[in-house]
Structures are given as C-alpha cells and as structure tokens.
Structure 1
Amino acid sequence: MSTADPQYSTQDPTDPDRTPGDSTNSARTVQQYIDERPLWSDGTDTPYVPMTGMQWRIWWLAAAGKFFEGIMIFMTGVALPLLTIDFDLNTTQQGFVTSASLAGILVGATVLGSLADRYGRKRMFIVEMAVFAVFVAGTTFAPNLVFLVICLFGAGIALGCDYPTAHMVISESAPTVRRGRLVLSAFGFQSLGAFAGTFLGFFILYENPEVDAWRWMYGAVIIPAVLVLIGRFFVPDSAHWLMARGRTHEAETETERLLTREPPYPTHVTLRRGADDEVTTAASGSYLDLFRAKYRRVTIFASVPWVLQDLSTYGVGIFTPVLLATILGQQSEVNDLHDVIHNDMLGAEGSALMDIVFVLGIVAAIFLVERFGRIRLQITGFIGCALGLFLVAIASLSPPDYNIPLLFAGFILFYFMNNLGPNSMTYLISGEVFPTEIRGKGAGFAASIAKVGAVAAAFFFPIVQDAIGTSTLLFILVGTALLGVVVTIRYGVETTGVSIESMSTADPQDSAASTASRV
C-alpha cells in the first residue's frame, strides 16, 4: 500500500492520541467496528463511512419488504371495484377486503415482530418472506371471499413482521452517520411499491379489461417474493442481537461476514460489550418493559404519533382513487362492467400522480433527516398534512370551477409532507429509541398499535364517509394531524447522530424535556 492510500483506523476517530494506520486488534463494540472510517497515512480522516457489499445486500433485501407492502396495500384500492363485481360485495364486505392486510400487519408486528428478539433477526427475516409468498399465491387463486380475506390477512401478518425486522437488520448493520438515511430510503420503497401497485393495476386493466384482472395484479408479486426469500438466506445475523444474548463468538463471526471488504479489514474481530449490551440487567425482554418508568415515555412517543398519521395515510391513501374520481365528478354512471373499469382507471390515474408526490416526499426526508433531525421533520410534516387535508376538505365543498386547483394542491401537499414527516419519521424513530434486548418488541408494538389506526381507517372510512360526508371526515383528520404535533413536542426524543448502542443509556425524560425546549 502506497503512502497515499487510505488505511482503516482501529481507534476512535475522535481520539487525539490515535496513531495513523494503527492495526491493533483491541476489543471494541460491534458499532465501533461498523462506524470505522478510513484514515490517510498522514492522519487525515475521510469524511465518510464505507459500506460493504454485504451491508448493501441487507439493505436491498429489507427494502424489498417495504416495496411489497406498498404494492399489496395500495393495489387493493385498484382491485376493489373488480372484487366487488366478482364476489358481489356489499359495503361491509368491502371493508373486510381493504382492512384484511392491515389487520394482519397489526397482528404480525406484535406476534412475529417480537419473535426477532427471541429467535434472531435473520431467522424472522426469512420466515416472514416465506409466509408472505405463500399467502400471496393463495390470494391470486382465491375461489371465494372468505378465502381471499384469509389470504390477505396472512400476507399482512408477514408484512407486519417486516415492520420491526427490516428496520432492525438495517439499523443494526449500518454506520451511525448513515443509519437514518438508509432506513428511510428502504422505507421509501413502500412509496415506490404504492406507485408500482397503482401502475400495475392500471396497466393490467388496460391490457385485460376483465373482472378477473385482479388475479393478475396479485399474481405478479409471487416470483419477486420468492427471489427475495432466497436472498435472505445468505445474510449474516445481527451481531448486536448476538452480543445481547451473550453469544460473543458468533457475534464476532457475523461481524466479520458483515464487514468483508477489499482490502480485507478487519482481519480479525474481537468484541466487547457496549452500553446497550448491558441492558439485560435493566430489562427482562418482555412487553412489560415497554411500560416501565424508564421506557414508558419512548413507548408513547414511538406509538401514538404513528397511530395518528396512519389514520390519514391509509384512510386517504387506499381510497384516493375513489375520492379523486368522486370529487372531480368525472365518473361514469355505472351501468355495466365497462363503466366500472372506466371509473377504476380514472381513479388509478389520479392516485398514481399522488404516489409520485409521495416518493418525492421520502426523497426529501432522506436528504434532510440527518441535518434537521427526526423531531423537527415530524412536527413540520404533521402541520403540512393538516393544511393539505384542510384544502381537500374545502375543495369538497367548493363549486366545480374552484375545486380542482384546491383538490390537487391539497393532495400534493398532504402526500409530500406526510412522507417528509410523520409517515417516515414514525417508522424510523420506533426502531431507534429502544435498547437491543427489547427493540423488536418496542418497534413491533409501535407498528401494531399504529395499524389499529390503519385498520380503523380502512374499515370505517367508507362507512363514516357515507354517514357524515367527505368534508366532515377530512376536517376530523385535520384535527388528528394537529394532535400529532402536540404529542411529538410533549414526548419527543431526538435520536439523530446517536449510536444505536447508547440508546438505552440516555434518560428518555431528560431527552424529551430537551427536545420540547428546543422546539
């Protein structure tokens, strides 16, 4: 290696006494190995933390799970009119169809997500995708409504497990300075999946304008799911989790696999426990820990804002095609299958436009999260969502000549600010604020409680809309978004730039008070 080549420093980059090119193998924590930066021979740091091929592979496989979620949830909005004809659904039965996957996510996030703390991140990473592939295949060939709902529910269970597991496999293998962007960029694939699901539904309807077109929509997901399942067999398990279980030798082996690079470094990993690995003395690893005094505040912070944002995200998101087509007043009177497909494609076109804005919102969040912090973006996003929904509500009450500009301005603002703020930040925060021993349970609990709001929105949205009207319902959602601002300020804990190994050492109450004073 020439004197101009960068070397990897084995010492803390903030240590003023470190020696350039020091290759000693003193014991360090998992995160210290992951966070190492190259060091030039004259002692100059490089301004980045390099990612290995294995770290990127883990990221891609985790992002795929979020992509499938977006496809399954939002494609249902396109498939619903065809399912209504095929199975002769009434309004209540439609609610079962649209809420089945979300109800499964609720159960999966709690039951399967928590198992990642017991059986390991990798094992559940594989199991969830196998379950998903099986139930998607069942959905494709569903002979009746009951079988369809069961399969959608089963697919949702797998996606629910993916909520905490995908976050953990990324955050526990990523450098601290990149963690937020990597988790959010993977989460952004949910938005890409929403767009892909809407576009796929539209394309299949265009090429095959028949009632059974919905089967092709779900069938298109099977092969990609199987490929992702195979890929997940070939990633290492979380060394953080192994250390928390006292399995130091296995953790060292998995850290070496994770950090395989050219030139090889580190050639040998010697681990010691970090602050987060000592959490077993303070936490039993049960759900009760989430409600003990030390973690109660972060449990509220991880869960309640997520519930509030899911009410609008899924309520508005699933039924955006119907809302757009209804408010625009361009739907055809339904006389036959041709009219149903026309209205379905009309709504899908408008929904696809909103999905593009959704993607732009998550892209903005990826670039801003490490600069402005999680809390500030979540508050800003909630305020923007409230304003966007307010404009949509006003559009629903306006004359035809004025409602189109207000409608699209409101939807664009809502979708952009939602993904810039609460939709992405709640997911990111839920997997960061808990220690390793209960991280799966904490993130899973937050996701499952959030899906209570999602299921309620999916099931009751059309019923409540018929009962009180679109505008009144939208004004109620404005209120829930503003409530999200209040909860974030009151309970917020900033995790930007904090090592995932030290999450359990900070006092959540002090952090929340500091956050509130800054806001």
Structure 2
Amino acid sequence: MNSSAAPSAPASGPAPVSPRRAWYIAVVAGMASYLDAGAIAGSATALALYKEEFGFSGAQYSQLAALLTAMIAVGALIGGRLGDRYGRKRVFGLTMVLFALGAALLTFAPGVAFLYAGVAVLGFAAGADLPPSLAMVAESAPVGKKGKMIAFSHVLWMVGVVVVIFLQIGVGAMGVTGARIIFGHLLVVSLIVLVLRFGLPESLEWSAARSGATAEVQHDAIDFTSLKGLFRSRYAAPLVATGLFYALANIAANTNGQFQTVLYTQFAGLDFPTAGMYSLIGLVFVFVGMFTLMRLVDTRYRRPAFIVGAVLAVTAWIVPAVGGISVATLLTMSVLFALGGAIAGEPMYKVWSQELLPTLYRSTAQGITIAFARIVAAVVALVTYPILEVGPNALFGFLAVTTLAACLIGLLWISRMPKAESATGPALTPAPKAAQPSRAL
C-alpha cells in the first residue's frame, strides 16, 4: 500500500471517542441527512409553488425533480471518492459551502432558469456530503452502537421532512414567498452546520486506516489510491448487493417524497396546508419505526424486525393500487410505508454500508451505490407525473414490486455476507480461517 504521505497513527490504533462526543459528531455530521431530506421534500413543495407563480409545465416540474435526483447521484459519486482519498472533514466542509450556494440561488430565483441552476448545485452538494458524513458517524460510534447511530442519521433525515411539512402548512398559501421561505431555511441551516463542522476532528478510524495501522488494511492489502481492490476483492459483492437494495428500495421512497404533495393536492383534491397536515400524520409513524430500528438494529431481533417492515412496506403500495387515489388510501399508504420503510428501507442500507465495507473504501462505495440509486430514481421521477396523469394503478403496482425485490435482496443475499473486519483496533494477525464471521442481518 502506498502510505508515504499518510499521517502516523499510534501502534495501538485510534483511541475510542467518548459516548457524549460520539453523539455530538453523529448530529453535526449526520445533518447531511437532514439537508438531503430538506432538499428533496422542500423542492417537492417549493417547486410546486414556483410552478404556480412562474407558470411552467408539469413536464418541467418532472425535469426539475429528476435533475435534483441526478445531481445528488453525481455528487455522491465524486464526494464519496474524495472522502476516502482526502478525509471526511475536508470534503464535508466544502460541500456545505456549495449547498449554501445552491440554496441561495433557489431562495432568490427570479425565474425558471435560476431554478434549474439552483437545483443542480443543491443536488450535487447534498449528494457529495452524504458518503463522507455517514462514514464519519459510523467511525466515531462506540463499539456495539454503530447500527444505532447510523439509524439515528435517518432520524435526522425524517426531521428534515417534518420541518419542511410544518413550513408547508405555515407558508403553503403564500405562493412564491412560501417557496422562498422553504429554500431560505435550508440556506440558514447549511450555514450553521458549516460553522459547527469546523470544530470536528478528522475521523480517527480513517486516519489509522490511512496509515496502515488497522487489521483490515493489512489483511486485505487495501490500497486507497486505487479502486481495483474494491472491485476485485470480497467487497465487490457487498458493493453490488447494497447498491441493488438501495436502488430498488429508494424508488418507492423517492417517489413518495417528491410526489406526495402532488398526489394529495392534484389527485385527492386537498389544498397545500391540508396536504401538509395529512403528511404529518404519516410521519408520526416514521419515528415509531425509526426508534424501533434504533433499539433492535444491534441485537438478534434485527432480522425479525426487517421481515415485519418488509411486509408493511410492500402492502403500503398495494392499497392505492387496488383502492385508487383518495385521501383514505393515501393516508393508509403513508402510515404503512412510514413504519415499513423505516425498518426495511434506506436506514438498513446505511447500516449495511458501514458494516460490510472497509474504512478506506467505505465512502467511495457509498458514493457509488448512492449515485446508482439516485440515477435510477431520477429516471423513474422523469416519467412519474405523466404516468399519474394517465392512471396511477400501474405506478403503485410497480412500486410494490420494486419494494418487494429490495426486501428479498436484503433477506436472501445481504444477510449471508460477513461483516468487514473491525477498523477500530490495531493492526493484528488475521483471524484463523476456522473463525465464523458475524453476519449482516
């Protein structure tokens, strides 16, 4: 491994971070999830308000939604790789500057052209921020609580959605001014996060792995300067499996996040504030699901919880597919998917991505899988609105199938994979071949 320029690390490996400090890092670094959610959910509402003011078409609304998702993908791909090469802190500091710029363009946009520019910058920054930030959370977590703290990052994601919904309720009737307030809140939060991140140290686990002072680096001869080891080693299968799981699971989650307001207002006949109230009801159950996952994810009950979540998530999309679009079916769908998706969806992707992949490939691998998933979601978003205008049954049936496929990948493939060696200890002699590796589910 080329480590001539690597920082030195103690022979005993990185010192553990205190629990209080670990939770502080989890919040400040994990705000990447809050801002990602704010960008997606906030754009869904704010662009709909801009649509009325600027008079652009439904096709342009779909284009902006797809552009946001595609740029999140591009950002994740680049930010993930940079996070492994140059460190978590350096990358997620720069991404906050870009995020604030994108939010400012959208807040003060005088016309449609500025919306396209703002969405592109905002999406890129949100995507680039996610992989190194999630890696930082995992690498600072105490032993035995990594799953819990990664799941907590998704709680922050949902807090972002809730804040946007409250803003929707409060400013939804204000037209373009309401849209500017929604994007303006993202600008303010990103600037606060930028300041707080200046005080974070670099990931000790990354620094130790970068210097070659951990077991995983020596055992697998990991070379952070090349991706050949990722694609040709035993980590290729987890990369593919988590990428497929997230891409399939995220189709439903992304559609729900970007088009729920449209479904309630244009297809179920509600106004924007009332639509926000109904969305909040569903989100109460998201937090029930998330705190359930946080409690069980590091225990032997993870697998049974995942199975229950999978059943609920698939059933959620069957309800409107069979019953048609109405306030009742959309609310039922929201509640079921809130519970099921929180346990058997994106949060488990985040947990698996930390457990199955080694430190020096972790951010890169997440960038690749996030990029793949968001590109798939962008393609689906591009055709979602036209499909809804023709007839919603096929769309909801498709979402049920993709959600089921994701859950089967988790149960039948990812659950059989061994976890990556711990990166928190010193460079050790590889474990005997007879030792049984822990499993991902």
The alignment's TM-score, normalised by the length of structure 1, stands at: 0.75
Aligned position for 2:367? 444
The answer to whether the 8 Å contact 1:63/1:186 transfers is yes
Cα 1:413–1:471 shift into 2, 3 Å: same
Amino acid at match of 1:211: V
Task: Report deviation, 1:320.
Answer: 1.3
1:190 equivalent among 147, 157, 179: 157
Amino acid at match of 2:407: V
Distance 1:52 1:479 in 2: 42
1:75 pairs, out of 26, 31, 42, with: 42
How do 1:465-504 and structure 2 match up within 5 A? 465-467=388-390, 469-493=391-415, 499-501=422-424
Q: Which runs of 5+ in 1 are unaligned?
A: 1-25, 36-49, 248-272, 332-342, 398-402
SS in 1 for 2:356: coil
What does 1:364-383 correspond to in 2, within 5 Å? 364-372=292-300, 376-383=304-311
Alpha carbons of structure 1 residues 376 and 127: separation in structure 2 relative to 1, 3 Å: farther
Residue 29 (structure 1) aligned with residue 23 (structure 2): no
Number of residue equivalences? 427
How many angstroms apart in 2 are the aligned matches of 1:359 and 1:444? 26
Shift of 1:491: 2.3
CA shift for structure 1 position 182: 1.1
Change (3 A) 1:373 1:145: farther
**Conserved? CA contact 1:314–1:454, under 8 Å:** yes
Could you tell me how far 1:369 is from its partner in structure 2?
0.8
When the two chains are superposed, the root-mean-square deviation of aligned CA atoms in Å is 2.9
Kept in 1: contact 2:247–2:377 (CA 8 A):
yes
Q: Does 1:159 align with 2:143?
A: no
User: Post-superposition shift, 1:147?
Assistant: 1.9
CA distance in 1, matches of 2:224, 2:86: 15
Does residue 199 of structure 2 align to residue 234 of structure 1?
A: yes
Distance 1:371 1:220, change over 3 A: same
Q: Indicate if the aligned counterparts of 2:65 and 2:381 stay in contact, CA closer than 8 A.
A: yes
- The aligned amino acid for 2:39 is M
Amino acid in structure 2 at the alignment position of 1:347? A
Preserved CA contact (<8 Å) 1:395 1:404:
no
**Alignment-mate amino acid for residue 313 of structure 2:** C
Out of 116-125 and 482-491, give the one that drifted further. Answer: 482-491
CA distance in 2, matches of 1:300, 1:377: 23
Q: Equivalents in 1 of 2:128, 2:322: separation in Å?
A: 38
Once the two structures are superposed, the pairs formed by residues 216-235 of structure 1 within 5 Å of their partners are 216-235=181-200
Compute the displacement of 1:282 (Å): 4.2
Structure 2 distance, partners of 1:352, 1:64, is 21
Residue 89 (structure 1) shift:
1.1
Retained in 2: the 8 A contact 1:377–1:425?
A: no
Cα distance in 1 between the residues matched to 2:224 and 2:187 = 39
- Secondary structure of the 1:431 match is helix
1:28 is paired with a residue whose SS is coil
- Could you tell me how far apart the structure 2 residues matched to 1:144 and 1:161 are? 26
Q: Which residue of 1 aligns with 2:6?
A: none
Q: Is the 8 A contact 1:381 1:420 kept in 2?
A: yes
Match among 307, 331, 348 for residue 408 of structure 1: 331
Q: 1:506 to 1:284 in 2, by over 3 A?
A: farther
Q: Describe how 1:269-348 pairs up with structure 2 within 5 A.
A: 273-278=213-218, 281-283=221-223, 285-326=225-266, 328=268, 330-331=269-270, 343-348=271-276
Alpha-carbon offset, residue 134 of structure 1: 1.5
3-state secondary structure, aligned to 1:170: helix
Cα drift, residue 430 of structure 1? 1.6
CA distance in 1 between partners of 2:305 and 2:75 (Å): 28
SS at match of 1:389: helix
Separation in 2 of the partners of 1:506 and 1:194?
44
Correspondence for 1:419:
342
**Contact 1:305/1:484 (CA < 8 Å) preserved in 2?**
yes
1:432 aligned counterpart, secondary structure: helix
**1:354 aligned residue:** 282
Distance of 1:506 and 1:202 partners within structure 2: 56
What is the Cα deviation at residue 69 of structure 1?
A: 1.7
Bigger relative CO (Cα 8 Å, ≥ 6 apart): 2
| SS in structure 1 at match of 2:234 | helix
Q: Secondary structure at the match of 2:150?
A: helix
* Counterparts of residues 52-201 of structure 1 (less than 5 Å): 52-53=20-21, 55-201=22-168
Instruction: Give the one of 413, 429, 432 matched to 2:355.
Output: 432
Confirm or deny that 1:51 pairs with 2:33: no
What percentage of residue pairs aligned between the two structures are identical? 24
Q: C-alpha displacement at 1:62, in angstroms?
A: 1.5
CA contact (8 A) 1:131 1:158 kept: yes
Q: Is the 8 A contact 2:214 2:423 kept in 1?
A: no
Contact 1:241 1:436 in 2 (8 A): yes
Cα–Cα, structure 1 residues 477 and 123, in superposed 2: closer, same or farther, change >3 Å?
A: same
The TM-score with structure 2 as length reference comes to: 0.88
Q: CA deviation at 1:375?
A: 5.1
Report the secondary structure of 1:176's partner residue.
coil
Matched letter for residue 371 of structure 1 = T
Greater Rg over alpha carbons, structure: 1
Letter in 1 for 2:349: T
* Structure 1: distance between partners of 2:192 and 2:101: 13
* Cα distance change of structure 1 residues 479 and 244 upon mapping to structure 2, 3 Å threshold: same
Distance in 1, matches of 2:223 and 2:305, equals 31
Rounded Cα–Cα distance in structure 2 between residues aligned with 1:511 and 1:131: 45
* 1:461 lines up with 2:388 in the alignment: no
